[in-house]
Amino acid sequence: MSPRATILWAAQALDDLTDIHGYIARTSPHYAAVVASRIVAAIDRLIEFPESGRVVPEQNDFHVRELIEGSYRIVYEVRDDRVEILTVFRTSRQFPKLSR
């Protein structure tokens, strides 16, 4: 059995999730909470399965992976037993510059 990964959030990813929630909440506070909780639940699954996401095509780095949750890409980096959430953004948007 492999050890459980520790989840860390980059400041950019925390800001992204806050912005996503805030934008949706302007029209539907309930749906904003649903979307945010689904994103967090997807991230929580990385504790047990850190390499479950695909390698991000724009990065071409085995350690930088992503999950797709609804209309959002959750980009993270895997290093040993640590998973750092780097950014969360809409799938329709251009890939952002990562601050790592």
pTM: 0.92
Confidence (pLDDT) at 1: 45
Provide the residue ranges of all domains of the chain, joining segments of one domain with +. Answer: 6-90
Q: What is the pLDDT of residues 31-59, one digit of tens each?
A: 999 999 999 999 999 999 999 999 999 99
pLDDT-above-90 percentage for the chain:
85
* Side-chain half-sphere exposure of 79, counting CA atoms within 13 A: 6
- Could you tell me which CATH number the domain at 6-90 has? 3.30.2310.20
Q: What is the pLDDT of residues 18-29, one digit of tens each?
A: 999 999 999 999
85 three-class SS: strand
Query: What are the backbone angles phi and psi of residue 34, rounded to the nearest 5°?
Result: -65, -50
Contacts of 5 (CB under 8 A, 6+ apart): 46, 47, 48, 50, 78, 81, 82, 83
Indicate the average pLDDT of the chain: 93
CA distance 47 to 94: 27
Give the Å distances, CA to CA, from 39 to 2, 46, 61, 64, 82: 24, 11, 23, 18, 18
